[in-house]
Amino acid sequence: MLVTKLSMGALALNDIWFAGQTRNPWLLEEGFSGSSAGPGAATAAGLVGFAIGSEAGGSIVGPSMRCGVTGLRPTYGRVPRTGAMTLCWSLDKLGPMTRGVEDAVLVLNAISRPDSGDLASVPSRLDFDAGSSVSGLKVGYFLTWMKSDPATDVDRAALETVHKVGMIPVAVAIPDWPYDSLDLILFAEAAAAFEELTLSGQLDQLKVQVPDAWPNQFREARFLSAVDFVQADRFRRKVASEMARVFSEVDLLLVPSLHDEMVTITNFTGHPSLTLRAGFIEVSEARSDWAPDPRNPLPKFSPPRRVPHGVTLIGRLFDEGTLGRAGIALERAFGVNEERPPGF
């Protein structure tokens, strides 16, 4: 039974809102991030047992990482999107946001099915055994990514934990390609989805109007050439082949949750991800993912505030069962999942 419909940023744009703002239960001075702000915040605060988030470019991963909930973004096509708002037909995915890994897999099992209302949805199988061993699973990681922002000591400690629970860390690499050029497809599809709104002038009501905010991206997308779109789609297929090569070497990937390249790559290739709390960090300023309002500077904190920090596992297509097994093993080893936001 549907309990409630929860809030999201205006047109799925992070902390940009028409009015008000969904706050982070761990740090009430900052927004919750991502278009799945309401589902994530309500789950983190214990207002609901679980919620369904949506993602095209980080909108489950981001809120889950920031606020210490577990976000499971499924393989594209596993969960039907019937009835959900369309942002980008070839990217949109619906997945559970919960307080623990096993709950996320249980919810995923309940919502996985084909549906005539979504032609992209397909039959799938979820092989999952919470008690089975993870020993010997190969977990790929990108050495350079682990040494630089947005990776933290929590991410680097998580890689050590991979070894402690019996999985095998394996250094992997991908070509240095312009992965952000794939976003041309997102902007074009989103502009088409919101064409009536874009042309109506209602987008001018958005709280913040900065050069890289959705309204301007949508307007600019109308001037894209068909050739550019086709070339981006060809590049997408090339990236998918590269990811297939990587997953011929490893069973999973462990990545810093908000590393832009991997968020972009895996959303465009449709790979599933699992974001889970791995520890805590301290922040001296409220965080905003994109397009902060220059007229309202982000609050600073002295002393710094303690907030949860999550890491992300990437799995093979339709292999969420392995993601769940590895996630449960790491969650137990991290031992930080039971702490709740003060006051909630």
- For 200-211, the pLDDT digits (tens) are 666 566 555 566
High-pLDDT (> 90) share of the chain, %: 68
In a domain, 209, yes or no: yes
Instruction: Look at residue 176 in the predicted model and tell me its pLDDT.
Output: 96
Tell me the average pLDDT across 175-179: 97
Instruction: Look at residue 213 in the predicted model and tell me its pLDDT.
Output: 63
Instruction: Look at residue 202 in the predicted model and tell me its pLDDT.
Output: 62
Model confidence pLDDT, tens digit, residues 118-164: 999 999 999 999 889 999 999 999 999 999 999 999 999 999 999 99
pLDDT band at residue 18 using 50, 70 and 90 as cut-offs: low
In a domain, 23, yes or no: yes
The pLDDT of residue 99 is above 90: yes
CATH code for the domain of 239: 3.90.1300.10
Tell me the average pLDDT across 208-220: 67
- Taking the alpha carbons of 211, 216, 217, 221 in that order, is the dihedral positive or negative? negative
In a domain, 1, yes or no: no
In a domain, 342, yes or no: no
CB 252 within 8 A of CB 139: yes
More confident residue, 256 or 193: 256
| Segment of 6-10, 13-17, 274-278 carrying the highest mean pLDDT | 274-278
Please count the helices (runs of H) and the strands (runs of E) in the chain: 11, 10
Tell me the average pLDDT across 79-107: 94
Instruction: Look at residue 23 in the predicted model and tell me its pLDDT.
Output: 84
pLDDT band at residue 17 using 50, 70 and 90 as cut-offs: low
The pLDDT of residue 114 is above 80: yes
In a domain, 176, yes or no: yes
Sorted by sequence, the CB contacts under 8 Å of residue 189 that are 6+ apart come out as 87, 88, 89, 90, 91
CA dist., res. 232 & res. 184, Å (int): 7
Residue 174: which domain range?
10-334
In a domain, 2, yes or no: no
- Count of domains in the chain? 1
Phi/psi at 85 (5° precision):
-65, 135
Instruction: Look at residue 67 in the predicted model and tell me its pLDDT.
Output: 85
Instruction: Look at residue 229 in the predicted model and tell me its pLDDT.
Output: 94
In a domain, 344, yes or no: no
In a domain, 186, yes or no: yes
Model confidence pLDDT, tens digit, residues 233-244: 999 999 999 999
Instruction: Look at residue 289 in the predicted model and tell me its pLDDT.
Output: 65
